[in-house]
Amino acid sequence: MDVGFHGLSAFPLTPADEDGVVDAEALSRLIERLDAAEVDSIGLLGSTGSYAYLSRAERLRAIKATVESLKGKRPLIVGVGALRTSESVALAKDAEAAGADALLLAPVSYTPLTQEEAYHHFAAVAGSTSLPLCIYNNPSTTKFSFGDELLVRLAYIPHIRAVKMPLPADMAFKDELERLRPRLGEGFAIGYSGDWGASQAVMQGANCWYSVIGGLLPVPSLRLLRAAQAGDATEVERIEAYFQPLWSLFQEFGSYRVVYAAANLLSLTHRQPPLPVMPLSVSDCARVEEALAKLSELDGLPAATP
Amino acid sequence: MDVGFHGLSAFPLTPADEDGVVDAEALSRLIERLDAAEVDSIGLLGSTGSYAYLSRAERLRAIKATVESLKGKRPLIVGVGALRTSESVALAKDAEAAGADALLLAPVSYTPLTQEEAYHHFAAVAGSTSLPLCIYNNPSTTKFSFGDELLVRLAYIPHIRAVKMPLPADMAFKDELERLRPRLGEGFAIGYSGDWGASQAVMQGANCWYSVIGGLLPVPSLRLLRAAQAGDATEVERIEAYFQPLWSLFQEFGSYRVVYAAANLLSLTHRQPPLPVMPLSVSDCARVEEALAKLSELDGLPAATP
């Protein structure tokens, strides 16, 4: 199986009840949507997939439900971040045994980590399974900043094959890619999360869009991604206009809260984010509904989408 | 029992093995030291006590060992921070049932929390037991910043009786206390963590020193605290000089790593911090040893201390 660190990597929610018990049925429905749309990979148990809020047993339940739904048709990347190295190692082994194709690892911390500590954490997890691993560089949730030197050291570890980068402050993807590519090596995949910048990232040479909205609305997301991959700037700009209201809400409330509201509005799940994270207010949900309506005006979508 | 949000609140390590199983015997030894030195309270399962890295079952094991050692002689404050509100509520109930006298709650997060979300989280935990609760304001680990408005709203909740503040950027304790006291009310206790600033905080009117070093070396810590409480600036300055090398190391490496090294050097435990947090190097440990030697020169300590 192609490990899937390219194209559209779709990150679904993991619907769960108030105690963190995964709703496998609702998750399977989300996975089947992604499979039907033919996304390039599925990123299970990313930040959008609430990995940090779920126990080891519940994460395994989510993986098993997904593997059963996918039947090997799409590459499955599974997030294995945890505060303890020993826990991340156990999660990685669980994921491999349950049928994951690749791992995604964020340097979750409580005591802020040094670059050296993060290096040993990644080396231990990468060495514990035979699966390829993507570095999850997400300072907005982990508060950890990867120096270039650390990324270079990690890229020397055989199983570590990709990085999921945050949007650069000035959206200067080209500069960042030109700086990192020669140091990380040609076979090392560089992708981005932050949905509102992803089409530009791909136009400027990024390998992958690690996408929140792709996990819920794969059809219009793939339209945008394919236009970006083809280098069709006019079409990208045209499609981006339909996404714009959603991007504004992502930036205002965080994509996590907005995508839960959207999933509820679309009747894909009635589950809410884990408290203390609160659902959006009724009036903010109305704005999400408007943004979904705008996106549904994008021509050429199947009648039933988004 | 006086709930203990004043004077020296001593925060011990929670010694545990590589898998996070608490070493109850080593913990009891630390607790007995604190009891013998007559600290004003014990802050179990604070950041220094690795609460974020320990499971619910292991936290309960730590509380039970401490209650058994203390036999009700000192107020016991127990940290109940967790990512999920439901988990913090369960931890609070465990702590109350096991004999804790008070709770300490930090707004731990993965998805960054809004002020409103933190308010409801605290309200839910405070409402779940009859114990008084101290707000744990620790942006260096939680990355959450409390606005004054949020502190004021929380202080209206009957069980919430204290706050543990970080050192203000300019060490302007007096300004901060004068700003907060009238808004939080006279019965609301304001204390500080950040050991190198705590004597100044107490001299300027803070109620409590929530102390890392007090959890390991309670005798010299109490000397410093009592001088500060007495307003004896000359004596505070004299004692601070003996602590200074330790404070420098706290600021360089984080107090968590340094106090583990010190506990090992003093043969109080052979346990290390939870990986990925790494023990200090041999050469850095030698610097901790020098700092402990300097502190041991403080006159009037019992022969066997620190």
Interval B117-129: pLDDT, tens: 999 999 999 999 9
The residue length of chain B stands at: 306
Burial level of A120, CB count in 10 A (0-12/13-18/19+)? middle
Query: What pLDDT does residue B186 have?
Result: 86
Give the catalytic positions of B in this structure.
136, 164
Q: What amino acid is encoded at A22 in this protein?
A: V
A2 band by pLDDT with thresholds 50, 70 and 90: low
- CB contacts, 8 Å: A111 with chain B: 47, 52, 141, 254, 256-257, 273, 277
Looking at the complex, report in whole angstroms how far the Cα of residue A108 sits from the nearest Cα belonging to chain B. Answer: 9
pLDDT for residue B4 is more than 80: no
- Provide, for chain B, the percentages of residues in helix, strand and coil under a 3-state DSSP scheme, each rounded to the nearest 5: 50, 10, 40
Please give the average per-residue pLDDT across B139-164, as a whole number: 96
Whether pLDDT at A183 is above 80? yes
**How many CB atoms neighbour CB A68 within 10 A?**
13
| Residues of A with Cβ-Cβ distance to B79 under 8 angstroms | none
- Counting Cα atoms < 13 Å in the Cβ hemisphere of A181 gives 12
- What sign for the dihedral angle of Cα B4, B43, B291, B265? positive
What pLDDT digit, counting tens, does each position of A184-228 carry?
A: 998 999 999 999 999 999 999 999 999 999 999 999 999 999 999
Residues B61-72: pLDDT tens digits? 999 999 999 999
Quote the CA–CA distance of B290 and B306 in Å, as a whole number: 13
List CB contacts (< 8 A) between A277 and chain B. Answer: 111, 113, 117
Across-strand partners of B76? B42
> Can you give the three-state secondary structure of A217-272, one letter per residue?
CHHHHHHHHHHHHCCCHHHHHHHHHHHHHHHHHHHHHCHHHHHHHHHHHCCCCCCC
pLDDT at site B52: 97
B111 contacts A254? CB cut-off 8 A? yes
In whole angstroms, what is the distance from residue A225 CA to residue A203 CA?
A: 9
Instruction: Identify the pLDDT of residue A35.
Output: 98
**Chain A: nearest CA to B108, how far in angstroms?**
9
Provide the annotated binding site of B for pyruvate.
Answer: 48
* Positive/negative CA dihedral, B189, B190, B193, B198: negative
Please answer whether residues B261 and B284 qualify as being in contact, where contact means their C-beta atoms are separated by less than 8 angstroms.
yes
Candidates A21, A110, A122, A257: best to mutate against B (most CBs of B within 10 A) is: A110
Residue among A73, A119, A136, A143 flagged as catalytic: A136
* Position B2 confidence tier, pLDDT thresholds 50, 70, 90: low
Partners of A278 on chain B (C-beta within 8 Å) are: 114, 116-117, 120
Averaged pLDDT score across all residues of chain B:
96
Which of B19, B83, B273 minimises the CB distance to A86?
B19
User: Do residue A276 and residue B107 have CB atoms under 8 angstroms apart?
Assistant: yes
Note the pLDDT of residue B272. Answer: 98
Q: Maximum Cα–Cα distance for chain B, whole Å? A: 52
Q: What is the separation of C-alpha A169 from the centre of its chain, rounded to a whole number of angstroms?
A: 19
pLDDT for A303 beyond 60: no
Nearest CA in chain B to A111: B141
Dist CA B205 CA B225 (whole Å): 12
The percentage of chain B sitting over the pLDDT mark of 90, rounded to a whole number, equals: 95
pLDDT for B90-119, tens place per residue?
999 999 999 999 999 999 999 999 999 999
End-to-end CA distance of chain A: 29
pLDDT at A4 over 90: no
Locate all alpha helices (DSSP H) within chain B, ordered by sequence: 24-37, 56-70, 85-98, 115-126, 139-142, 148-155, 173-184, 195-203, 218-229, 233-253, 255-265, 282-296
> Can you tell me the ipTM of this complex?
0.94
Give the tokens for residue B300: 């009037």
The string of pLDDT tens digits covering residues A117-144 is 999 999 999 999 999 999 999 998 999 9
Does the distance separating the beta carbons of B112 and A141 come in below 8 Å? yes
% residues pLDDT > 70 (chain A):
97
CA distance B83 to A25: 25
Confidence of residue B303 (pLDDT cuts 50, 70, 90): low
